[in-house]
């Protein structure tokens, strides 16, 4: 787990960019505080911050490799150079396969398997890798740069192309630091701002800066000096449920359990201590219980708040006792919460309006005092059908029999009903096609609300601009699989995985996600609908598969995660004044109607204190997070206190 930064120059003048790359590296030192370095030839500069996890004494990056071996390199530079962020969990098996094919290795780490595999398989190397990755391989002989990102988008890759060449890196702020050197226009992208405000995250491949984009999950690109990045998709998550005859379900449950057992075993590979996050749900509990089989001294970590109903600390502690692990708890106060937000948004690069980022930051900091790697349960909901809204196709099934003309009448009736009227939501959802009503697991505003608050809103920039192409790829899927498919490309990679990477890396902590594994997905994609949503629960097949692994008090427990009481805090003494000052001081009058935002804050306070009226907390948090981001990266008015902590290489 590391931070990479590089430039493929357009004019073969790479030496002039060595200093700008070296100058930009420290802003992402948190991604790799153990060592740093640069390398260049006439075309390329690579920079790197390393968090040493495997092969601690070797596998230094940027890494050089030549197919002729050490003897062949005498008198000439190596053919290949690599910068790599992530982990390859099947590197032992790949190494053995490549050695059998006649290749030699200079290290015992996972990085070298990428570059040797690239020489052997070419672009198809990505289909042999089982892990999380974003990497760049420079072939000095062919003068080509190969950029690639893992199947699900666990690791980030930003890039910008100017007349100077193409800059790419793990963090957008490092590219912004090079803006003057490469002639990058730092103008904001209005469409991306609208999408963010609508969805609570910036959808790939956009960023809030018009000149910087992201290589999408499951994509790679090959370019020569002077080329622009043209991404090629190599991985499409195809859900193909396979019917399971009655009485044979146990065979599927065993396949799920075996796949997870194997994934966790490989995710435990490290030369440093591995711990695990633990909330009160089945996902993290299953991972921790499986990890305990490989590390009897496993330490687990959880977080919560002192407000009733917003903490899983007690359940997590009960789970830790049941599986026999040491357990660490971090309770976050409202004061700590508010103080940490600007720092967290700086680490994010672009805002993500998910308050769960804050408790995650604190539990990651607590974990980094004891371990260097943690496992977590991200991805289980998207792969196994865990969100409650996935029950919607079943609950709305009666509307499928209603003729279209009657549906239109019912839809108009639903629109006419007042907000909060019982039955309004059901009528609207049941009479609206899935492609229009389901936009993933988060949406802050409907268009009318968006238009009142956001001055730059346009009708053509609504959520369907993001979701329509994704829906077009899933026309043959069943309704639940279509929802899962959409979430893999929107909510999961826009929110879940961004916060997982950015917030743990903010604490120089490597987070691994065993559910998001190729072998696990190959089983999950075959689960039929009636074994995803069944017996009035979600993730039914996963729950059955984990019955002998997960403690009984967790196996059927509803999902909670790390909830945050912002709906109460924004209306009370904890955060109301804090939020109001952020809105008033923000210089975003050209983007937001601040009077409307302030009115929304006051209406929210009245609603929460009276017990009647709308809950605006998600909408408010979306705007507040953007305003803090704008104060940091555009106005240069907010200056978060970023700690420079030094950690030992081995922990």
Q: What is the pLDDT of residue 1?
A: 62
Report phi then psi at 258, rounded to 5: -65, -40
Q: In angstroms, rounded to a whole number, what is the distance separating the alpha carbons of residues 89 and 53?
A: 12
Nearest to 647 by CA among 384, 272, 293: 272
What are 498-538's pLDDT values in tens digits? 999 999 999 999 999 999 999 999 999 999 999 999 878 89
**218 vs 146, 150, 231, 458, CA distance in Å?**
14, 5, 10, 30
27 in catalytic set? no
DSSP letters, 286-299, are: HHHHHHHTT-TT-E
Q: How many helices (H) and strands (E) does the chain have?
A: 30, 17
DSSP state of 398: G
The annotation status of 385 as a binding-site residue, yes or no, is no
Residues 6+ apart with CB under 8 A from 366: 301, 303, 328, 330
Q: In angstroms, rounded to a whole number, what is the distance separating the alpha carbons of residues 180 and 184?
A: 6
Residue 284 · residue 277 · CB < 8 Å = yes
Q: Which residues of the chain have pLDDT under 70?
A: 1, 55-56, 70-76, 309-311, 420, 558-562, 645-651
> Which token pair is 11?
């004019």
Q: Which residue matches tokens 């945050």? A: 564
Where b means 16+ CB within 10 Å and e means fewer, 318-347 reads: ebbeebebebbbbebebeebbebbbbbbbb
Bridging pattern class, strands 165-169 and 158-162: antiparallel
The annotation status of 572 as a binding-site residue, yes or no, is no
Where b means 16+ CB within 10 Å and e means fewer, 571-592 reads: beebbbebbbebbeebebeebb
Residues forming CATH 3.40.50.620 domain(s) in the chain? 249-333+351-386+489-555
User: H or E segment at 97?
Assistant: helix 91-100
- 3-state class of 250 per DSSP? helix
Q: Which CATH number fits domain 249-333+351-386+489-555: 3.90.76.10, 3.40.50.300, 3.40.50.620, 3.20.190.10?
A: 3.40.50.620
The annotation status of 395 as a binding-site residue, yes or no, is no
User: H or E segment at 63?
Assistant: strand 63-65
Residues 6+ apart with CB under 8 A from 474: 239, 481, 482, 485, 486
Nearest to 454 by CA among 192, 642, 90: 192
Beta bridge partners of 303: 330
Residue 198 · residue 450 · CB < 8 Å = yes
Residue 352 · residue 625 · CB < 8 Å = yes
Residues forming CATH 3.60.20.10 domain(s) in the chain? 2-233
Q: In angstroms, rounded to a whole number, what is the distance separating the alpha carbons of residues 107 and 567?
A: 52
- Number of Cβ within a 10 Å radius of residue 475: 8
Q: In angstroms, rounded to a whole number, what is the distance separating the alpha carbons of residues 199 and 353?
A: 9
Q: In angstroms, rounded to a whole number, what is the distance separating the alpha carbons of residues 476 and 263?
A: 29
Q: What is the pLDDT of residue 72?
A: 42
Q: In angstroms, rounded to a whole number, what is the distance separating the alpha carbons of residues 99 and 89?
A: 17
> Which token pair is 464?
């369907």
Beta bridge partners of 374: 275, 511
**644 vs 115, 136, 273, CA distance in Å?**
32, 27, 22
Q: In angstroms, rounded to a whole number, what is the distance separating the alpha carbons of residues 447 and 463?
A: 9
Residue 286 · residue 550 · CB < 8 Å = yes
What are 40-49's pLDDT values in tens digits? 999 999 999 9
Max CA separation in the chain (angstroms): 80
Q: What CATH code would you report for 2-233?
A: 3.60.20.10
Beta bridge partners of 49: 3, 36
What's the pTM? 0.95
How many alpha carbons fall within 13 Å on the CB side of residue 98? Answer: 24
Residues 6+ apart with CB under 8 A from 293: 264
Residue 379 · residue 291 · CB < 8 Å = no
Q: What is the pLDDT of residue 424?
A: 86
Angle between helices 617-633 and 594-610 (to 10 degrees): 140
Q: What is the pLDDT of residue 397?
A: 86
């Amino acid at each position: 787990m590391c931070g990479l930064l590089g430039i493929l120059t357009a004019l073969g003048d790479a030496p002039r960019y060595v200093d700008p790359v070296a100058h930009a590296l420290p802003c992402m030192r948190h991604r790799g505080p153990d060592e740093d370095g640069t390398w260049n030839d006439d075309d390329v500069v690579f920079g790197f911050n390393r968090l040493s996890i495997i092969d601690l004494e070797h596998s230094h990056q940027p890494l050089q490799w030549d197919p002729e071996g050490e003897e062949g390199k005498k008198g000439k530079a190596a053919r290949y150079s690599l910068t790599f962020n992530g982990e390859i969990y099947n590197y032992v098996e790949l190494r053995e396969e490549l050695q059998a094919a006649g290749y030699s290795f200079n290290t015992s780490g996972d990085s070298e398997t990428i570059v040797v595999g690239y020489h052997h398989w070419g672009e198809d190397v990505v289909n042999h890798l089982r892990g999380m990755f974003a990497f760049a391989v420079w072939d000095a002989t062919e003068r080509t740069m190969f950029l690639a990102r893992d199947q699900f988008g666990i690791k980030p890759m930003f890039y910008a192309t100017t007349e100077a060449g193409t800059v790419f890196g793990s963090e957008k702020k490092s590219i912004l630091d090079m803006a003057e050197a490469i002639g990058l226009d730092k103008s904001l992208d209005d469409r991306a701002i609208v999408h963010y405000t609508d969805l609570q995250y910036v959808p790939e491949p956009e960023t809030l800066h018009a000149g910087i984009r992201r290589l999408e999950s499951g994509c790679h690109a090959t370019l020569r000096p002077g080329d622009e990045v043209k991404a090629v998709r190599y991985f499409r998550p195809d859900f193909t449920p396979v019917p399971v005859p009655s009485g044979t379900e146990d065979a599927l449950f065993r396949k799920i359990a075996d796949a997870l057992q194997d994934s966790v075993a490989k995710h435990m590979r490290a030369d440093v201590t591995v711990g695990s996050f633990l909330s009160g749900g089945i996902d993290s509990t299953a991972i921790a219980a499986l990890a305990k089989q490989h590390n009897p001294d496993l330490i687990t970590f959880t977080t919560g708040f002192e407000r009733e109903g917003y903490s899983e600390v007690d359940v997590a502690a009960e789970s830790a006792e049941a599986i026999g692990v040491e357990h660490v708890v971090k309770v976050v106060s409202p004061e700590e919460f508010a103080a940490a937000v600007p720092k967290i948004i700086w680490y994010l690069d672009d805002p993500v309006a998910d308050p769960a980022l804050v408790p995650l930051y604190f539990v990651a900091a607590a974990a980094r005092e004891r371990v260097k790697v943690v496992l977590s349960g991200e991805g289980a909901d998207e792969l196994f059908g865990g969100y409650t809204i996935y029950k919607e196709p079943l609950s709305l099934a009666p509307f499928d029999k209603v003729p279209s003309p009657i549906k239109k009448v019912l839809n108009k009736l639903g629109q006419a009903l007042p907000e909060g009227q019982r039955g309004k939501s059901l009528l609207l959802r049941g009479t609206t096609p899935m492609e229009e009503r389901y936009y993933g697991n988060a949406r802050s505003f409907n268009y009318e609300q968006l238009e009142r608050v956001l001055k730059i809103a346009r009708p053509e920039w609504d959520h369907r601009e993001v979701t329509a192409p994704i829906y077009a790829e899933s026309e043959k899927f069943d309704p639940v699989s279509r929802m899962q498919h959409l979430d893999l490309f929107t909510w999961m990679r826009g929110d879940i995985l961004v916060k997982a990477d950015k917030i743990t890396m903010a604490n120089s902590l490597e987070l691994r996600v065993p559910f998001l594994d190729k072998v696990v997905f190959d089983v999950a994609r075959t689960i039929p609908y009636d074994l995803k949503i069944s017996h009035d629960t979600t993730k039914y097949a996963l729950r059955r598969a984990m019955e002998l692994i997960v403690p009984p008090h967790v196996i059927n427990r509803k999902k909670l995660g790390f909830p945050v009481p912002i709906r109460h805090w924004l209306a009370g003494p904890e955060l109301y004044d804090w939020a109001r000052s952020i809105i008033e001081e923000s210089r975003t009058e050209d983007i937001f109607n601040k009077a409307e935002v302030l009115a929304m804050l006051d209406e929210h306070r009245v609603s929460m204190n009276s017990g009647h009226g709308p809950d605006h907390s998600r909408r408010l948090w979306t705007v507040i997070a953007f305003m803090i981001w704008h104060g940091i990266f555009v106005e240069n008015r907010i200056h978060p206190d970023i700690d420079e902590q030094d950690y030992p290489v081995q922990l």
